[in-house]
Every structure is written in structure tokens, then in C-alpha cells.
Amino acid sequence: MPPSFKWDSLKRWETLLAVVLAVVVIFNISQSSVFLRVDNLVNLFMLHIEKIIVVLIMTLIIINGEIDLSVASVMGLGACVVANLYERGVSMEAAILVGLGVGALCGIINGFWVAYVRLPSLAVTLAGLIAYHGIAEMLVEDRSIGNFPDWFNQLGQKALIGPLPLSLVIFFILFIIFAAVLHFSAFGRYVFVIGNNREAARYSGVRVRQVKMMLYIMSGVIASLAGILFAARLGAVRASTAEGFELDIITVVLLGGVSIFGGKGTLAGVGLSIMLVLCLRNGMNLLSITGNTQSTVIGVLLIFSVLIPNLTQDFQGFWNRRRMIAK
């Protein structure tokens, strides 16, 4: 397939996302006078901020042709390490540093098995999902640890710059950094090249292993950071903190038009997909649609997001063949 075709289909996917997003936004505005208010727009991000921070690094990992199923467990583990250390009398600042370090360590472990031993990332990070969650369970057991220092809780809950809380500021900064790295740097090009064809990348002198290792370490640190921010927002930590978030995170990335097979995707598409899911959830909340109905609507949307690109490709293939036969 010529490269121009891929580019076009991507363009079309993002246009489609933008159109659907516009429809959802217009619908929300028409249904609720609250939707466009600043506090609601901040809420819209804040209620899922931890997930969308991890979505950014997950985008790079999936474009790279890998997956990290352990992110939610690393989020939980980061939060549990911080809570456990703080409870033992370690200062909160030091506890946070150790928490981030543990995240990096998880990333190194994942990266080692994937990049150097060349085991499938699906299996490696699935093991990570179970193991890191297990450690979190051992640290916090069946309890809920809270009573963190005020400054820590305020960091997660109160506005820091204008109406924006810290985690929202972190999200925007990371979004810009990741967009720049992925689309305008040599590292970003390597991420795509490896995702397209690992062997070809290796023979052209790309340091495949280092790139993969870097991505997994970043994933570990960012997931742990997100978990700690989650703890600050909720003011309490349980072993089950962030449990199951990995699926939400990966589905947002896929809805953004990133190919699960690697090599394809843009951060713009993922940005649109984040906005779409957030606006949809917020709109449903404002209309008092909660619980399972909300999950179902999002689920149906995701099924379509996977079906439509595949169906259009199949249809196009079918059409091309027909034309060739006709000729």
C-alpha cells in the first residue's frame, strides 16, 4: 500500500473524531447551561486526569508496537508505596521520591524482558499487572490509608495556577512535550520506525533496545506519578487504587486512531479521543446518566472505533479488486 494512503486514512480518522466531538459538545451545550462553565470544564478533566496522563505515554508505547498492561498496577503500587512509607513516619516528600523510583524500577523490569530478552510485551506486562498489584496488596493489605498532610491533599484537589490544579498543569505540559518528541524529534521517528518494522529499524542502525527501554521507564515513572496524584485527589489509598484503569487507558489510545499493531497514530488523534470520551462522560453525568449505562455507551463507541477503520479498509480492498477485475 502506498504511504500516501495511510496518511489519508489517518487524516480521515481525525476528521471523523473532530466531527463526533463537535456533535457531542454542541449536544452538551444545548442540554446543559453548566457545560461550558470553567469549573465544569476543570471537573471534566479532573475526574479522569490520572488516566489521561498515562494515555500520553501509552500512545508512544503502542505506536512503538508494544503494550504496557501493567500501568494501572504501577499507579496503584506508586500510591501504596507512598502511603505505606508515610504511615511509617517517612516524610511525604521522600515517600513521593521513593514512589517515583519504584515506578521507574517497574519500567526497567518490563523494559528488560521486552527489549533485551525479546519476550512479547503482552505477556511481560500482564505478569507485571499481577505482580505489581500483588506487592501493593502486601503493602496496604485490606485497609485504607489516609490522613496525608494537608499540602499533599490540596495539591490533588485545589487550583494551583488560575483555576487549574497541579495534575491538569502536568497533563498539558506532558501533552506538549510528548507531541514535540513524537512528531518533531529523532526519538519520535525511531518510535514510529520500530513500530513499523523492528528488524528493518535495527538494520538501519536504530538502537531499538534503548528506545524500548526508555519508553518503559517513562511509562513506569509517569504511571507512578499519576497514581500518586490520584492518591492526592482522593486523599486515601487502597490496594485496589486504579485497579482496571489499564483498559480505559488503552481504549482511549485506540479510539484516537493509533494502530494496535504499531507504527501508526498521532497525538492529535489521541488528544481528540481524550476530549471525546471526557465530554461524553461529563455530558452524561450532567444528564444524570451514570453507572452501567455510561460504561455501555462508551463501550459501544469503542466497538465502532475499532470496526469502522477495519470495515472501510475491507470495503476499499473489495472495491479495488472489483475495479481490477472490471478492467
CB of 216 to another protein, least distance (A): 27
CA nearest 178: which of 11, 52, 45? 52
* Phi (first) and psi of residue 237, to 5 degrees: -130, 135
Nearer to another protein, 259 or 285 (CB): 285
Q: Single out the residue of 88, 89, 161, 292 in contact with another protein (rule: CB under 8 A).
A: 292
- Binding another protein (rule: CB under 8 A), the pick from 16, 25, 34, 159 is 34
Place of cell 538502537: 207
Q: In the bound complex, what is the minimum distance in angstroms from residue 34's beta carbon to another protein?
A: 5
Q: How many CA atoms lie within 13 A of 28 on its CB side?
A: 27
For another protein, give the closer residue by CB, 44 or 102.
44
Among residues 105, 164, 234, 268, which is the contact residue for another protein, using CB under 8 A?
234
Residue whose C-alpha is closest to residue 59's, from 272, 278, 270, 301: 270
Question: Within positions 46 to 75, which residues make up the interface with another protein, using CB under 8 A?
Answer: 46-47
Amino acid identity for residue 189 in this structure = R
Residue 88: φ, ψ to 5°: -80, 5
Residue of 126, 285, 297, 301 interacting with another protein (CB under 8 A): 285
If one counts every other C-beta atom within 10 angstroms of the C-beta of residue 311, the result is 11
Q: C-alpha grid cell for residue 120?
A: 512479547
Q: What is the 8-class DSSP label of residue 90?
A: -
Closer by beta carbon to another protein, 16 or else 297: 297
160 lies in the site for another protein, by CB under 8 A = no
Among 92, 131, 181, 286, binds another protein (CB under 8 A): 286
Of residues 168-227, those binding another protein (CB under 8 A): none
Name which of 34 and 301 has its Cβ closer to another protein. 34
Looking only at residues 111 through 150 of this chain, which bind another protein when binding is defined by CB under 8 A?
142-144, 146
| Window contacting another protein (CB under 8 A); options: 61-69, 197-205, 228-236, 311-319 | 228-236
If phi > 0 it is left, if psi is from -120 to 50 it is alpha, else beta; for residue 159 that is beta
Segment lying near another protein (by CB under 8 A), choices 9-17, 42-50, 120-128, 189-197: 42-50
Q: What three-state secondary structure class fits 146?
A: coil
> Hey, which residues does 237 pair with through a beta bridge?
145
Q: Is 47 exposed, middle or buried (0-12, 13-18, 19+ CB in 10 A)?
A: middle
Stretch that binds another protein, among 16-24, 29-37, 130-138, 271-279 (CB under 8 A): 29-37
Eight-state DSSP code of residue 289: -
| CB-based contact 217:111 (threshold 8 Å) | yes
Q: Which residues bind another protein (CB under 8 A)?
A: 32-34, 37, 39-40, 43, 46-47, 142-144, 146, 157-158, 234-236, 238, 240, 243-244, 282, 285-286, 288, 290-292, 295
